[in-house]
Structure 1
Amino acid sequence: MPPLRFLSRLPMAAGLALPLAGCNPILLNAPGDVARQQGDLIIISTLLMLIIIVPVIALTLFFAWRYRASNTRATYKPDWDHSTRLELVIWAAPLMIIIALGSITWITTHTLDPYRPLERIAPGKPVPEGVEPLEVEVVSLDWKWLFIYPEQNIATVNELAAPVDRPIRFKLTSSTVMNAFYVPALAGMIYTMPGMQTELNAVISTPGEYEGFSSNYSGAGFSGMRFRFHALDEAGFDAWVDQVRGSGQVLGRDGYLELEKPSEREPVRHYASVEAGLYDAILNRCVDPRRMCLHEMMAIDAGKGPGRTRMEGLEARQRGDLRGRPYVQSAMCAAGDPPTAGLAGQLSRSAP
């Protein structure tokens, strides 16, 4: 392409790039302290790597131009194969960058550990004494998000809220497949897995409305697993809690089993109260009373239950709906076994 023709197209390219000026790169300018530190880590790591990348690209272009076939003034040394000074630069510079990146990664891996309780809410601003984290229990469903607030005894679907400058402790699990919880303004992505609990500690410093979504493919409705995160002042958060309580709906086991069914692009739902122990039942995969809880299975495996000799009394856990079928055979609950009678009675859950 002739140089003048190329230059004539630069204004057009600049015009096409102009709308990007309106974008908000929240990942690199996050209002949450944890997300902000992660953004700084991205920038620092990128700049350190550019110390190597930019000279390599520049020298590649320079050598291609300097030693082109038509340049008869360039020195031609076909037998040259070694330079101690050049080898020192080639190996020492990347090694120093790797050491720097490794040191930064080691430090931030521990300071930004999602399980680690927060020690500050902003740079130079430690967590005030006596301030307890807001507990939020998160369940990824097909294909929606359930948020349970145990302290307030409320729950929401596809809507999350928290007061600014107060640490938030998320406890996360999944009802079916592996998923990932991600609010770019708040903190990094954290996975959710059925039968397991992960944790995330974070804080938001600026009031506003932010987007949260699933960042791990989980099926047909994955793209619709989005929710709004409201960062409110204390008065605003209290008003939001009162609004949720005003819905009058109660989330119990039966309601959860209905909510758990696959659905796409669910509207926001509010629940004024939550049945006690619901999240624990979700985590242990025994919301349906006909299913044995995982902690009960582990008690058996640990030798604190009926033992391996009685395992033939249990049906194999299967995918699909087991409602309407007994999960434990009545023969397992035979009398005359005092050490295990209590647990056996708990496990003998038969279909009505």
Structure 2
Amino acid sequence: MTPSAMYPALQAFRAVGRRALGRCASSRAFLRGLLLLPLLPLLAGCNLTVMFPAGDVAVQQRNLVLASTGLMLLIILPVIALTLLFAWRYRASNTQARHDPDWDHSTGLEVVIWTAPLMIIIALGALTWISTHTLDPFRPLSRLEPGKPVPAQTKPLEVQVVALDWKWLFFLPEYGVASVNELAAPVNRPIAFKLTSASVMNSFYIPALAGMIYAMPGMETKLHAVINKPGAYQGLASHYSGSGFSRMTFKFHGLDGDGFDQWVAKLKSEGKELSREAYLELERPSENVPVIHYASYADGLFGSILGMCAVPGKMCMHEMMAIDAKGGAGKDSRENAARLQYDNRHTERGDEAPGATGPASHHAPRSDKPADSQDHGPHGKGQNSPAPNQLNN
């Protein structure tokens, strides 16, 4: 066979080979896809609570996110689509595309380019202004659900919240009970949270109920919310506060009227008393603390925590503010200095401050301590996980 006669056969053989290689590549891609299928069940662990909340405040916040995203997509999607269209339309191989190097202005195009974003920014600004006032966490609720205003004479459930290291303490003054790392509220009854911290700044967050709100020592912040669906929901600390931060979680229960009454009765029958001494022991840093119920608590305990004077001998914030309002204590201020020292209380009692290094706390880091001396808390040893070695030169 002559070379000229063999050429068509070689071309046909190459074409068959290319098709075979293409089929092999497609088969490999298909097999890779099949191998990824067993990983799909892992997506079941994804939690979309923020998009499917159970409280009206959280629903309004979800709607704000969706509306804002939709308005921004009005610009983002056309820009992406036109970018791809222009890249394809004016590719080098397209000789039919019009080339106009002297073009520099179009009034109509300028109007479109500037008017559309301007209108979207105006809409976003109006939406933000309205929602900022409507969803102000300090503002009492005006409705329980869409079209269902709060009935007249309805008394909100007051919940006093204290962020500790590393647990949450809840007081229900209406019922005289308290709990650690567990909270319940009746369905469709407004909740008025009052929050503070006994240690560093933290952030209180129940995604199904409402947005997060900061809790700060010596200050009281507020949050108004309502739970509309019965269930058990996750609460957490959303602001880093030391080594026990990741385990600073709690359960929030939305209960019907009878269920909430039974929960309160359970606390009264099974709980113990939270005295001032018991609180000072509870306040010591501890991790992974189980649920604790208290049938009663010392009078004025939340106010003392808020005033940073739960420790005996400390001056309360309102006392200091009253002295300042009168122009100061003059020479007597020197005597008040020790009563105002607060941040070193853990070190004075032999506890390591949250996240402190050896030089800062004047003793070795926890990672260098024996295993039997790594915990300070109300439930015995073994709650504080060892911290990594920290080097300060």
Alignment partner of 1:227 is 2:237: no
Residue 260 of structure 1 corresponds to which residue in structure 2?
283
Deviations 1:66-89 (A, max 9, x none): 111121111112232222111111
Alignment: residue pair count: 323
Alignment pair present for 1:321 and 2:345: yes
Name whichever structure is richer in helix by fraction: 2
1:137 CA displacement: 0.2
Mind listing any 5+ residue stretches in structure 1 that lack a counterpart? 325-352
Which consecutive residues of structure 2, in runs of 5 or more, have no partner in the other structure? 1-21, 350-393
Q: Is the 8 A contact 2:202 2:241 kept in 1?
A: yes
What are the Cα deviations for residues 32-89 of structure 1, in whole angstroms up to 9, with x where unaligned? Answer: 0000010011111101100000001111111111111121111112232222111111
2:199 aligned residue (165, 176, 179): 176
Once the 2 structures are TM-superposed, how far is the Cα of residue 246 of structure 1 from its aligned partner? 1.3
1:143 counterpart = 2:160: no
Deviations 1:289-337 (A, max 9, x none): 2101111111111117x6334212222525212879xxxxxxxxxxxxx
How much does 1:185 deviate?
A: 0.7
CA distance 1:22–1:218, shift in 2 (3 Å): closer
Whether 1:155 aligns to 2:178 is yes
How big is the shift at 1:29?
A: 1.7
Structure number with larger C-alpha Rg: 2
Residue matched to 1:245: 268
Is residue 67 of structure 2 the alignment partner of residue 44 of structure 1? yes
Report SS of the residue matched to 2:243: coil
* More moved, 194-203 vs 11-20: 11-20
Q: 1:111 aligns with which of 119, 130, 134?
A: 134
Given the two structures, how large is their TM-score scaled by the length of structure 1?
A: 0.86
2:108 corresponds to: 85
% same residue:
59
Letter in 2 for 1:170: F
SS in structure 2 opposite 1:91? helix
1:310 to 295, 320, 332: 332
Conserved 8 A contact 2:137-2:224: yes
Q: Is the 8 A contact 2:185 2:255 kept in 1?
A: yes
Q: Which amino acid aligns with 1:278?
A: L
Partner in structure 2 of residue 327 of structure 1 = none
The C-alpha deviation readout for 1:189-223, integer Å capped at 9, x for no partner, is 00000000000000001001100001111110000
Q: Does 1:185 find its partner at 2:241?
A: no
Match of 1:346 in 2: none
Could you say if the C-alpha distance between residues 70 and 320 of structure 1 is closer, same or farther in structure 2, counting changes exceeding 3 Å? same
After TM superposition, the score normalised by the length of structure 2 is 0.78
Is structure 2 residue 226 aligned with structure 1 residue 203? yes
Say which SS state the counterpart of residue 169 (structure 2) adopts: strand
Task: Give the Cα–Cα distance (whole angstroms) in 2 for the partners of residues 143 and 18 of structure 1.
Answer: 33
* AA in 2 matched with 1:233: D
2:94 paired residue among 71, 89, 108: 71
Residues 75 and 189 (structure 1), Cα distance of their counterparts in 2 relative to 1, 3 Å cut: same
